Amino acid sequence: MQPWFNPARELDALVRRVAADLPALGAAFDPQVRPATDLRHGDFQANGVLAAAKAAKANPRDLAGQLLAALQAEGTLAKAGLEAEVAGPGFLNFRLAPAALAAWVAAYPDAEAWRKGASALLGGRKVVIDYPSPNTAKQMHVGHLRPIVIGEAVARLLEFCGARLTRDNHIGDWGTNFGILILAIKRRGFVLDVASPTALEDLEALYKEGSALAKADPAALEAARAELAQLQSGDPGNTALWERSVAVSNAACQRIYDQFGLRTDLILGESFYRDKVDRVYRELAEHGLAEVSDGALVVWHDDTPRYSRHAETKLPFIVRKKDGSSNYASTDLATILHRVEQLGAEEIVYVTDGRQQDHFQQLFLTAAKWFKATGRPLPRLRHVWFGTILGEDGKAIKTKSGDPVRLQSLIDEATAKAFDKVTEKSPDLPEAERRDLIAPRIGVAALRYADLVPSRTMDYRFSWDKMLAFEGNTAPYLLYQAVRVRSVFRNAGLRPGQGEAGATPPETPGEIALARKLLGFSAALDEACSGLLPHILCTYLHDLAGAYSSFYADNKVLVDEPAVRARRLALCARTSALLESGLRLLGIEPLERM
Ligand code: ARG
């Protein structure tokens, strides 16, 4: 049989199936199959018998023994190359025989094979991912790093694991700030040139000017309100100014996206939904889900506001403001409906800062009630939130003037620092290659990887030294390891994949450990994809690089014995492909040399 791509999952299903026929366990039994925490005990463990025995007041070791006997009688375990035993108080341990490890390594040689194997996880599910979704008319700053980096990694992960994905950039292009901006543009008679590289900086300066004016002078504030009202009622002049501002902003964002290799399928900003919110108000009111309170249309939730910053004074979800205008909530509700009806979404994933947990909790609760009342199937709704980037001093990072650090200056600084590092390490590489190819690649990769390594819900401290180091769990380290594995083939005059015929199963401890690590990719992918947690993949890649280093230190690859050489070349080729594919999944393009 074709080896299982994801043995932990397949084994779980098998144990479930066999246990269902045992009176003492039955169909409700959860075997809890996991990759083993300690590889000395095997590759996988099933811990579920303990809880089941406790509930049935049975002896756990006896029960585990019964289950094991039934599993062995069924026959699949042996075919999958799995040896099993009862251990401790009633665990089942499973170990893959070396031949089974070799079969996996041979059956899943490259990204295409892994993608096929992993696609069962989401099985063609239609997912819409909402990122990086910045607010317009502002330059991108350090606060935009995480939605770009985490959003792109999560998107690639979802796609790799079998989602039919639509990337929808839900930009904030319909805020009240446009009144002030239009006022300032008009006062100056400023001509917005979309092609000018400083257009967005100019807009930002105008906005600052306008808002200072509005603060100081009530008449100006009134004028800004009037401009906004005109825009909202469709005045052609103001609409043109607004459109041009959004275009300037999108062009500037695109220049940043390009440097991060980010591409979205759609840009449907908040403005797109301005004629779609009435239906939301109507349906919510018709079904008695929303009520007018203090002039605003609101939805109350009895459910405890888990994330609310106002936990003790429960606040309603305001879906239409007192003045009749729409807001973030109404727009997001209309957006869900659009994604379901027009994009066929079965799942929607939102990537934002953790400070929006409150909003998304209320949004999801409202959507659930609304869809139920209207008889629509509710898509799965997930908020992939992240913590804050702190400066090296542990406080929010800011420039000396107190403004947020621009994202472009972070990229430029990372690139400059990467250039110095590579020049120090590999002075013989041509300068043009170091400057134009290697430095920007490593610089952006370092920023990106440092942002992915900590579990996304944690805050982390920004550190140039740490992210650019060639040791530790960093981008330069992994990129360098990937280059080193490739050099094995370059030195042998072979391409990865060549010279594998006649390979025997792994034998030495280093070979076995590396083969098991390679196979562990399927479980790491599974875990990263289920929780939408890219850091699981970072940890995995770092471990894989470590397993390779130990293997390489103790096992000469280009030995004379053909079978040994072939199996070692196969392990090297797989490591090379996996390191590179894994980096790509995170959004990092590997290098040929550095
Ligand atoms: N524009 C928002 C912000 O910058 C993020 C939007 C996230 N997406 C959404 N559908 N609410 O905070």
Within 10 A of 348 (CB to CB), how many other CB atoms are there? Answer: 24
**Whole-angstrom distance, CA of residue 168 vs CA of residue 270:** 12
Among 72, 96, 120, give the residue marking a domain's end: 96
Residue 586: inside a domain, yes or no? yes
Sorting pLDDT into bands at 50, 70 and 90, what band is 306? low
Assess if residue 159 is contained within a domain. no
- Six token digits for residue 247: 């275009």
Q: How far apart are CA 273 and CA 118, in angstroms?
A: 35
**CATH assignment of the domain containing 65:** 3.30.1360.70
Mutate to test the pocket of ligand 1, among 148, 150, 170 (most ligand atoms within 8 A of CB): 170
Mean pLDDT of the chain: 95
* 421 and 538, same domain (yes or no): yes
Which of the listed residues 273, 276, 356, 364 should we mutate to test ligand 1's pocket, taking the one with most ligand atoms within 8 A of CB?
A: 356
Pocket test of ligand 1: the residue of 128, 129, 130, 133 to mutate, having most ligand atoms within 8 Å of its CB, is: 133
Q: What is the DSSP-derived secondary structure letter of residue 290?
A: -
Cα-based distances in Å from 553 to 520, 539, 556, 576? 21, 21, 8, 16
CATH code (residue 373): 3.40.50.620
550 and 434, same domain (yes or no): yes
Going from the Cα of 133 to the center of ligand 1, the distance in angstroms, rounded, reads: 5
CATH number for position 451: 1.10.730.10
Closest-lying ligand 1 atom to the alpha carbon of residue 353: 12
At residue 334, does pLDDT exceed 90? Answer: yes
Q: Note whether residue 277 is domain-resident.
A: yes
Contact 460, 396 (CB under 8 A): no
Give the Cα separation of 37 and 157 in Å (integer).
24
pLDDT category, 305, cuts 50, 70, 90? Answer: low
What is the distance between the terminal CA atoms of the chain, rounded to a whole angstrom? 42
Is 341 inside a domain boundary? yes
Distance CA(277)–CA(299), nearest Å, equals 15
301 alpha carbon to ligand 1 midpoint, in Å?
Answer: 22
pLDDT tens-digit readout, 195-210 = 888 999 999 999 999 9
Q: Whose CA is nearest to atom 4 of ligand 1?
A: 134
Of 173, 280, 328, 352, the residue with max ligand 1 atoms within 8 A of its CB, to mutate for a pocket test, comes to 352
The one-letter amino acid code at 561 reads: E
- Residue where one domain finishes, among candidates 343, 365, 386: 386
Report residue 102 as tokens: 């070799």
CA of 336 to the centre of ligand 1 (A): 13
Burial class (CB in 10 A: 0-12, 13-18, 19+), 461: middle
Is residue 59 scored above 70 in pLDDT? yes
Cross-strand bridge partners of residue 12: none
pLDDT of residue 56: 87
Domain-located, residue 35: yes
> Is 553 exposed, middle or buried (CB count within 10 Å of its CB: 0-12, 13-18, 19+)?
exposed
- Inter-residue contact 517 to 481 (CB < 8 Å): no
Shared domain check, 440 and 528? yes
* Full 3-state SS string of 438-477: HHHHHHHHHHHHHHHCCCCCCCEECCHHHHHCCCCCCHHH
Q: For residue 150, is it within any domain?
A: no
For residue 577, give every residue at least 6 positions away whose Cβ sits within 8 Å of its Cβ, in sequence order, or none. 109, 110, 111, 496
> Does residue 423 lie within any of the structural domains?
yes
pLDDT tens digits along 532-557: 999 999 999 999 999 999 999 999 99
For 497, residues 6+ apart whose C-beta sits below 8 A from its C-beta are: 109, 110, 573
**Pair 312, 198 in one domain:** no
pLDDT on residue 545? 98
Whether 380 and 502 share a structural domain: no
- The mean pLDDT of 511-537, rounded to a whole number, is 97
- Based on the structure, what is the number of domains in the chain? 4
Residues 360 and 409 in one domain: no
Q: Does one domain contain both 344 and 459?
A: no
pLDDT given at position 426: 95
Ligand 1: centre distance to CA 333 (Å) = 13
Report how far ligand 1's centroid is from the alpha carbon of 143 (Å): 12
Q: What count of other Cβ atoms lies within 10 Å of the Cβ of residue 272?
A: 18
CB–CB of 450/462 below 8 Å? yes
* Domain, as residue range, for 457: 391-594
Nearest residue (by CA) to ligand 1, atom 7, is 133
* Pairing mode of beta strands 347-353, 126-130: parallel
For the stretch 1-19, pLDDT in tens is: 899 999 999 999 999 999 9
Q: Which atom of ligand 1 is nearest to the CA of 172?
A: 1
- Does one domain contain both 516 and 564? yes
Residue 14 falls inside a structural domain? yes
Give distance in angstroms: CA of 320 to centre of ligand 1.
18
pLDDT at residue number 572: 98
Q: Side-chain half-sphere of 514: how many Cα atoms within 13 Å? A: 31
Q: Where do we find the tokens 């800062």?
A: 353
Domain match, 411 and 474 both = yes
pTM of the model: 0.95
pLDDT for position 392 = 86
Cα four-point dihedral sign 209, 215, 221, 225: positive
Ligand 1 interacting residues, C-beta cut-off 6 A: 130, 133-135, 170, 172, 332, 335, 350, 352
Asked whether residue 426 falls in the same domain as residue 549, the answer is yes
Task: Give residue-wise pLDDT tens across range 463-474.
Answer: 999 999 999 999
The candidate with the shortest Cα–Cα distance to 217, out of 242, 175, 239, 184, is 184
The least confident of 38-42, 444-448, 466-470, 522-526 is: 38-42
Residue 90 confidence (pLDDT) above 80: yes
Single out the residue in 367, 386, 405 at which a domain terminates. 386
- What integer pLDDT is reported at residue 316 of this predicted model? 87
Q: Are residues 424 and 557 both part of a single domain?
A: yes
Residues 453 and 558 in one domain: yes
Q: How far is the CA of 170 from the centre of ligand 1 (A)?
A: 7
In this structure, the residue with its CA closest to atom 11 of ligand 1 is 332
Its sign, for the CA torsion 360, 364, 365, 369, is positive
Q: Give pLDDT, residue 289.
A: 96
**Bigger pLDDT: 474 vs 193:** 474
Q: What is the pLDDT of residue 304?
A: 56
Predicted pLDDT of residue 582: 98
Closest CA to 125 of 380, 499, 330: 380
Distance (angstroms) between ligand 1 centre and the Cα of 87 equals: 50
What tens digit of pLDDT does each residue of 568-583 get?
999 999 999 999 999 9
Give the model's pLDDT for residue 394: 86
Q: How confident is the model at residue 311 (pLDDT cuts 50, 70, 90)?
A: low
Residue 79 neighbours by CB under 8 Å, 6+ apart: 1
CA distance 588 to 578: 13
Q: How far is the CA of 404 from the centre of ligand 1 (A)?
A: 18
